[in-house]
């Protein structure tokens, strides 16, 4: 089966998505997500100018060879733009392969290792009391695992927390918004927040927290240690992950499980973290981590070192990535948990899909391939709108870490 034609569809049904459609000479097509939040058009151009001309005519079934050709052929290895573009092609080819064989994708990835996929949701409040109300709402919706974030009293806004009554969305229209950051205020509030949550909801609920890369290693160690009595499922991105060695220091001080990797694009961003067992959960996704071909290798390496997966699943990853992640989650032996931030209803109309949520668990469905479609007519009504992730400044104006 040969690749005949490839299209890149950019749309913004409430937020921007880039989708690659790869057509074959058998009359079927595959979908790949190519969305890189805040840098969408860089991937569009990379695909249109440099990738599509190179893959036309190649065999759809040769996913390994096409992957190596695009990765090694670039010479400029790794990096989020390159790896997102390669991931889009790779996802689309696996989708096509599974469709041609008339099986759901997970059947080509080792089959089922479990019946359903544990997911975690987000509870965000403008202050700890509002956050408790949000936790309660999500328990009522059936979630067994909840990421808990709160606005910090005395700070004008916090990333990951929406204004009351609004939904949290990672990017905002226009140029990057600026948030205020104060490490001391943050460190004093978070342990108190988790104390309140455990007191009100008991021990059974799985609790997670995302520090969004903003602490130094020793500050992160203090937070992780102070959170120990509340038994977190994980503490995510405690420090900036550019320096893998930082995690050694963290590990020496705490038993709180650590998750990292949503901005990783290659196994070479996390090989030390995996082989030294410095983390417990790897969040590198199929979308920004080079597609199914590369994430499989990375996840298998992690399995050998007792590191589990916890794939990124925010709204800036399209339903195509959500589906691919769920097929991997169902089949990987070392699956840990899947993030689930439900898309707006309009996004689900543009990308009708077979995956489902019930009682805190998800399933990719049994449609052939990824089980996702794209409604082009509807997508065409929502053109691209520039939107960016925010930046952080300390209260004295210093640009701060993510
Ligand atoms: C967050 C995301 O879901 C998460 O864990 O860190 O909101 C992340 O910041 C965005 O997806 C970045 O685009
Ligand atoms: Mg995160």
Confidence at residue 159, expressed as pLDDT on a 0 to 100 scale? 81
Closest residue to atom 12 of ligand 1, CA basis: 170
Question: pLDDT tens digit string along 364-377?
Answer: 999 999 999 999 99
Nearest to 22 by CA among 6, 9, 10: 6
Closest residue to atom 4 of ligand 1, CA basis: 314
Confidence at residue 156, expressed as pLDDT on a 0 to 100 scale? 77
Reported confidence tier of residue 168, pLDDT bands at 50, 70, 90: confident
CA of 377 to the centre of ligand 2 (A): 33
Sequence-separated (6 or more) residues with CB below 8 Å from residue 184: none
- Asked whether the whole model's pTM tops 0.85, one would answer yes
CA of 316 to the centre of ligand 1 (A): 8
Q: How far apart are CA 363 and CA 338, in angstroms?
A: 11
With 90 as the cut, is the pLDDT of residue 212 above it?
yes
Output the six-digit token pair for 287.
């979308």
Residues of the chain with pLDDT > 90, as a percent, come to 93
Reported confidence tier of residue 352, pLDDT bands at 50, 70, 90: very high
Question: pLDDT tens digit string along 38-55?
Answer: 999 999 999 999 999 999
Q: What is the mean pLDDT of the chain?
A: 96
With 90 as the cut, is the pLDDT of residue 91 above it?
yes
Task: Say if ligand 1 is within 6 A of residue 287 CB.
Answer: no
Torsion angle in degrees (nearest 10) through CA of 311, 373, 121, 136: -170
Q: How far apart are CA 107 and CA 235, in angstroms?
A: 32
Closest residue to atom 11 of ligand 1, CA basis: 314
In degrees and rounded to multiples of 5, residue 357 shows phi and psi of -125, 135
Task: Say if ligand 1 is within 6 A of residue 339 CB.
Answer: yes
Confidence at residue 234, expressed as pLDDT on a 0 to 100 scale? 98
Closest residue to atom 6 of ligand 1, CA basis: 212
Q: How far apart are CA 198 and CA 393, in angstroms?
A: 31
- Tell me the best of 122, 313, 316 to mutate to test the pocket of ligand 1, counting ligand atoms within 8 Å of each CB and taking the most: 316
Ligand nearest to the CA of 35: 1
With 90 as the cut, is the pLDDT of residue 188 above it?
yes
Confidence at residue 191, expressed as pLDDT on a 0 to 100 scale? 98
With 80 as the cut, is the pLDDT of residue 165 above it?
no
Q: How big is the CA angle at 225 (ends 262 and 146), to the nearest 5 degrees?
A: 50
Confidence at residue 148, expressed as pLDDT on a 0 to 100 scale? 98
Task: Say if ligand 1 is within 6 A of residue 262 CB.
Answer: yes
Reported confidence tier of residue 163, pLDDT bands at 50, 70, 90: confident
CA of 265 to the centre of ligand 1 (A): 15
């Amino acid at each position: 089966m040969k690749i005949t034609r490839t299209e890149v569809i950019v749309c913004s049904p409430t937020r921007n998505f880039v989708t690659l459609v790869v057509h074959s000479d058998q009359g079927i097509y595959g979908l790949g997500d190519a969305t890189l939040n805040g840098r969408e058009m860089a991937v569009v151009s990379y695909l249109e100018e440099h990738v599509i001309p190179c893959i036309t005519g190649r065999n759809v079934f040769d996913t390994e060879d096409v992957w190596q050709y695009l990765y090694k052929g670039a010479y400029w290895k790794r990096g989020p733009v390159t790896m997102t573009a390669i991931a889009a092609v790779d996802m689309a080819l696996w989708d096509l392969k599974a469709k041609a064989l008339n099986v759901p994708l997970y059947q080509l990835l080792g089959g089922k290792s479990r019946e359903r996929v544990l997911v975690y949701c987000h509870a965000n409040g403008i202050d700890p009391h509002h956050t408790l109300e949000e936790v309660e709402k999500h328990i009522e919706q059936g979630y067994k695992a909840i990421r808990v974030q709160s606005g910090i009293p005395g700070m004008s806004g916090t990333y990951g927390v929406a204004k009351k009554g609004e939904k949290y969305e990672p990017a905002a229209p226009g140029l990057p918004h600026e948030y205020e950051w104060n490490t001391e205020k943050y460190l004093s509030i978070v342990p108190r927040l988790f104390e309140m949550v455990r007191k009100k909801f008991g021990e059974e609920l799985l609790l997670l927290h995302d520090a969004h890369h903003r602490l130094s290693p020793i500050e992160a160690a203090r937070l992780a240690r102070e959170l120990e009595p509340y038994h977190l499922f994980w503490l995510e991105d405690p420090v900036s992950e550019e320096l893998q060695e930082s995690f050694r220091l963290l590990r020496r001080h705490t038993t709180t499980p650590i998750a990292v990797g949503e901005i990783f694009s290659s196994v070479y961003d996390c090989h030390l973290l995996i082989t030294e067992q410095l983390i417990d959960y790897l969040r590198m996704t199929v979308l920004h981590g080079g597609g199914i071909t590369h994430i499989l290798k990375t996840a298998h390496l992690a399995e050998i070192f007792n590191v589990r997966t916890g794939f990124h699943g925010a709204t800036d990853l399209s339903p195509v990535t959500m589906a691919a992640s769920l097929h991997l989650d169902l089949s990987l032996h070392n699956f840990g948990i899947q993030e689930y931030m439900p898309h707006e209803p309009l996004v689900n109309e543009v990308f009708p899909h077979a995956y489902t949520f019930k009682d805190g668990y998800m399933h990719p469905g049994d449609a052939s391939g990824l089980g996702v479609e794209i409604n082009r007519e509807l997508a065409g009504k929502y053109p691209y709108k520039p939107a960016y992730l925010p930046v952080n400044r300390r209260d004295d104006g210093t640009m701060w870490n993510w």
